[in-house]
Structure 1
Amino acid sequence: MDFSWSTEQTARYEETVRRTADAFPADRPRRAAGRDDWLALGRIGALGACLPAEHGGGGLGALDTARVIEAVGRTCHDTGLVFAASAHLFACAVPIAEFGSAELKKRFLPELASGRMIAGNAMTEPESGSDVSRLRVTATEAPGGFVLNGEKSFVSNGPAADVLVTYATSDPDSGHLGQTAFVVPADARGVLRSEPFEKMGLSSCLAGTVTFRDCFVPADQVLGAEGMGATIFQTSMGWERACLFAGYLGLMDRLVEECVGFARERRQFGRRLAEFQAVSHRVVDMKLRLESARLLLYRACWEMDRGGRATLPVALSKLAVSEGAVESALDAVRILGGRGYRSESGIEAALRDAVPSVLFSGTSEIQKELAAKELGL
């Protein structure tokens, strides 16, 4: 095992940190990402790191991509923005890159990699969160394509999207083999989008409902082939559960640094906080969670790059990062006390942004089910 980064990888990480700091300074107000923000994310490389170079991407593997996303998450204090970029890349652009026709790739990937076009992930339904095998949105075959009907909920980037990657049941009698994936322009006739939801965290990533009402989708906008939807979705989830959560590694890393600095400077009862074991041990717990989760995530990405079966390492990685992010954000609030509870500290926002990580991309309970199945249980 080699735990070092090459000169090229180190330089890429440092350059990503620099570009992110320039584009998104720590005092940037938290707000929904505007077009300028998306273009800046494109220039940083956050929107196309693993997309093919011939289509404007970085051509990176999973491990190098995760390192880019970690650098962005470490430097950008708005985790909602990092999440929006990652959902755009892993849940939308990656399926097009891996399963789209040559024409779909040429049409969409350069726009998505640059940030000139925003993608929304339309998979979750009101009655289908964790159970993605029972989609109620239907795709009825019609001359030259399919007609979509039904509702998708919690569509990440949905209210701002230019294009949607969505999934529907095209053959209700075939179970998971009856699901088909589609690329749908957000302004297509029959696509209705709600106003953004109010959420506990990740406020910079707009999310809302998308309803399809007799929305015709040409056959050339099908990803892969009819019936491949479940396979395509699981592939995108592998990328998302591994690489998206690298952004939370960056968040955890930043929280450790902030708590170390605060404990060294803050004095109570005539002593630095760092001299109180109750504080120093809590910081050590944060560091332990970070390094343990980081190793699991890097290992999962390494397995993906080798082409191996990465279901177990990816599930363990996602579980460790998401649960660790929540615990460490809560520890940071406790260490900073009243200061950490105030909005201007950014610490309370880190906690609110960490909580949904145990829900999206498969809940922690779903990750345990996947791991148990891989262990033969």
Structure 2
Amino acid sequence: MEFGWNEGQQARYDEVLAATRAAFPSGPGSGHGFYTRKDWLRLGEIGLLGACLPPEAGGQGLGALDTARVVEAVGRGCADTGLVFGAAAHTFACAVPIAEFGSAAVRERLLPELAAGRLIAGNAMTEPDAGSDSSRLGTIARPVDGGLVLNGTKSFVSNGPAADVYVAYATVNPKAGFLGVTGVVVDRNTPGVIVGEPYEKMGMHSCPAGAITFEECFVPDDHVLGGVGQGAAIFQHSMGWERACLFALYVGLLERLVESCVSHASERRQFGRRIGEFQSVSNRIADMKLTLESARLLLYRACWEMDQGKPAVLAIALSKLAVSEGVLAAATDAVRVFGGRGYLREDGIEATLRDAVPSTIFSGTSDIQRQLIAKEIGL
């Protein structure tokens, strides 16, 4: 068993962290608008968008564990969690299924652009009446000569209002449940694609999210992922990458929170003492550190199991649950450590709390992860 990193892995982490801090030097609490194309291209240059994509497509060809370390470094170095989340969703929920299951023509056309950041992708699965139960999709794919015709509405499409291309899921047979779900690649400029306005959200403000509607939208056969009826398996494959690697950004955020709290508790004085000398403060920060290291180890293990070719369902569910619940608890504690300043936008602490809340909802809620864990251990 090895708990260290080789020189190449550590050098990659250090380089990505330094490049991220140089590319996004603005302190926490600054800026409240959506990310820009310039921001996205910077992420491509840093290597985040193509970390796990094949080298022939402009990626680095990294496995899950090394990819997670890249995401962790960017999450630690960039205070704009919404931007990093949008990039990770673009990569794991869109670029990965295209790389694994897309036709040769689609892979050749899209993957280099997605890896470089010249295109933005959005994942269109969730619907107004189909969230955790993704087998009940209302979006219908009607077979026609040469392809499929989509009709339906998707909600909560991260990057949706800004995206150039969508990975969408629809059903060719509503009575077939999971066996009827089909994944497709849809360009934004395809006739019948209607892009909704961005939602007003609690957190991750820089990542636009909105509804996408398909009205008699034709998708050619070579834009079908895998084959008709394989969408559920493809979606679960991408969710494995997302639940493991995407949440590495929250490990990076956790480390940034611990660093901020240690610094603040070492400098802030009350009653003639540094507040870090009070056990009520130091114990809270110690618990944050425990949360960070526990979540990190579970995430690394999940990614390692993926790289070994194991199903990793249990490891991924444990990791996702530990990271999301841990970052929410730690962000709440950070607000308490900072006191009144933690409630102000200037230090960015309140933003981390708002950004942490959705981590327990997207990519499968915490209760869904608990159900997966229970099933995997034989309950």
Structure 1 residue 274 displacement after superposition: 1.0
Distance 1:97 1:257 in 2: 37
Alignment partner, residue 9 of structure 1: 9
Identity of aligned residues (%): 67
Alignment partner, residue 238 of structure 2: 236
> Of the candidates 155, 161, 164, which is equivalent to residue 162 of structure 1?
164
Alignment partner, residue 258 of structure 1: 260
Structure 1 residue 171 displacement after superposition: 1.8
Structure 2 unaligned runs (5+)? none
8 Å CA contact retained: 2:23, 2:42: yes
> Of the candidates 246, 249, 254, which is equivalent to residue 248 of structure 2?
246
Secondary structure, in 3 states, of the residue corresponding to 2:346? helix
Amino acid at match of 1:6: N
- Paired residue total: 377
> Of the candidates 102, 105, 110, which is equivalent to residue 104 of structure 2?
102
Amino acid at match of 1:17: L
Secondary structure, in 3 states, of the residue corresponding to 1:4? coil
Structure 1 residue 26 displacement after superposition: 3.3
After superposition, the CA RMSD in angstroms is: 0.7
Secondary structure, in 3 states, of the residue corresponding to 2:123? strand
> Of the candidates 127, 130, 147, which is equivalent to residue 128 of structure 1?
130
Amino acid at match of 2:378: G
Distance 1:75 1:138 in 2: 42
> Of the candidates 322, 325, 334, which is equivalent to residue 332 of structure 1?
334
8 Å CA contact retained: 1:30, 1:78: no
1:33-72 to 2 correspondences below 5 Å? 33-72=35-74
Alignment partner, residue 276 of structure 1: 278
Distance 2:120 2:363 in 1: 19
Amino acid at match of 2:355: D
Distance 1:187 1:30 in 2: 28
Distance 1:30 1:291 in 2: 30
Amino acid at match of 1:25: P
1:150 aligns with 2:152: yes
Structure 1 residue 31 displacement after superposition: 2.5
Structure 1 residue 102 displacement after superposition: 1.3
> Of the candidates 289, 301, 322, which is equivalent to residue 287 of structure 1?
289
Amino acid at match of 2:177: G
Structure 1 residue 255 displacement after superposition: 0.4
> Of the candidates 192, 195, 206, which is equivalent to residue 204 of structure 1?
206
Amino acid at match of 2:334: A
> Of the candidates 45, 61, 86, which is equivalent to residue 88 of structure 2?
86
Structure 1 residue 173 displacement after superposition: 2.8
Distance 1:29 1:64 in 2: 31
Distance 1:103 1:297 in 2: 34
Alignment partner, residue 24 of structure 2: 24
Amino acid at match of 1:334: R
Alignment partner, residue 218 of structure 1: 220
Secondary structure, in 3 states, of the residue corresponding to 1:83? helix
8 Å CA contact retained: 1:180, 1:227: yes
Q: Taking structure 2 as the reference length, what is the TM-score of the superposition?
A: 0.99
CA distances 1:214-264 after superposition (whole Å, capped 9, x unpaired): 001111100000100000000000000000000000000000001001111
Amino acid at match of 1:356: P
8 Å CA contact retained: 2:137, 2:174: no
Structure 1 segments, 4+ long, off by >6 Å, are: none
Amino acid at match of 2:106: L
Structure 1 residue 155 displacement after superposition: 0.4
1:184-195 to 2 correspondences below 5 Å? 184-195=186-197
> Of the candidates 356, 359, 374, which is equivalent to residue 358 of structure 2?
356
CA distances 1:147-194 after superposition (whole Å, capped 9, x unpaired): 000000000100000000000001223221111000000111000011
Distance 2:79 2:298 in 1: 24
Distance 1:349 1:231 in 2: 35
1:314-329 to 2 correspondences below 5 Å? 314-329=316-331
Distance 1:242 1:91 in 2: 12
Structure 1 residue 104 displacement after superposition: 1.1
Secondary structure, in 3 states, of the residue corresponding to 1:159? coil
Structure 1 residue 269 displacement after superposition: 0.3
Alignment partner, residue 304 of structure 1: 306
